[in-house]
Amino acid sequence: MKKVWIIISCVAVGVIGLIILLSFTLFSLKNVSVDFRTSKSNIVLSDEQIIESAGFSYGSSVFFHGKKDYAKNIENADPYIKVINIETVFPSSFIIHISERQEIFAIEKDGEYLICDDEFKVLKKESDFTSSQNNSILLSGIVIKNETVEIGDFLDVENFVNVFSTLYGFNYPLGQQEALIKQINFKDIYDETLKENQLSFELKMFNGQTYLIKNCNYGLTAKMKLFTEVYSQIFTYIGKEINGGHVLTEEDLKTCTVEINNYYDYTSHNENDCYFNLILSNENI
């Protein structure tokens, strides 16, 4: 019986030794490549520089690498790089899957404009910024908690809801949002009925219209869905009479404000129920 245990122990030690040997020979890291999942118009680093910035430990087993640290090193080397993941290709290779961070928001802080992606990573700074239909959307009214901000930092923000992602879910890609929305302005609005401040935001459109989304922390998806419907159909109201017998014209609708809100009666309505008002010359229509 003792001999059996000795044999089993020797076999176990041999297997463990073989595994260790294979880990540091067959499974040692030898090759790393880069795979871009998106365009790379703003990424200045070459594939070789991206790989070098990671600080890979070549020759060690692919099983024992700190991939999160590698990804962080790469992203620190170029703010426009987002590492999706680092894939292990057995027996001895890594593939770095990369996407390019997009310039989505422009935010003023301390006299300069921070150009950020949807995660509020600061991609660059500009001394001056004018919103156009092919650059970042101007964002105002949010609170930036960072005392100092450098390129590559992530902003810690308050008074914000992710309008971009919500519209993206309704098939409004970045280019279309930039072409439509001049500015998103967040602000607290006091609700006379509920006797409380509610975070709201204005969508200032390039066509002259304003869409006021009230109480945006409640039922945001439904309200943005209603926004897309009203925006696409608003000019069908031309020729309709409003209070006082005024007949709506194209010029009226080009400069109107559309207020979108939820119903107060929560017993009969849920967060998916919302309505809109047309506001013209400071009067509800």
Residue spans per domain, the chain: 18-100, 187-285
Residue whose token pair is 């010029």: 251
What are the phi and psi torsion angles at 11 (to 5°)? -60, -45
Q: Which residues contact 99 (CB under 8 A, 6 or more apart)?
A: 36, 37, 38, 82, 84
Measure the CA–CA gap between 270 and 143, rounded to whole angstroms.
29
Sign of the CA dihedral 143, 102, 112, 166? negative
Catalogue the long-range contacts made by 195-204 (C-beta closer than 8 Å, 24 or more residues apart). Answer: 199/159, 199/161, 201/141, 201/161, 201/163, 203/163, 203/227
Pair of tokens at residue 215: 């109480």
Q: What is the CATH code for 18-100?
A: 3.10.20.310
Measure the CA–CA gap between 247 and 245, rounded to whole angstroms.
6
pTM confidence score? 0.87
Pair of tokens at residue 208: 């002259």
The per-residue pLDDT string of the chain (285 residues; one tens digit each, 9 = 90 and over) reads 566 565 565 455 444 544 554 555 688 999 999 999 998 999 999 999 999 999 999 998 888 888 999 999 999 999 999 999 999 999 999 999 999 999 999 999 999 999 999 999 999 999 999 999 999 999 999 999 999 999 999 999 999 999 999 999 999 999 999 999 999 999 999 998 889 999 999 999 999 999 999 999 999 999 999 999 999 999 999 998 887 788 999 999 999 999 999 998 878 899 899 999 999 865 545
Sign of the CA dihedral 35, 37, 39, 40? negative
* Cα dihedral value 156, 161, 166, 172, nearest 10: -80
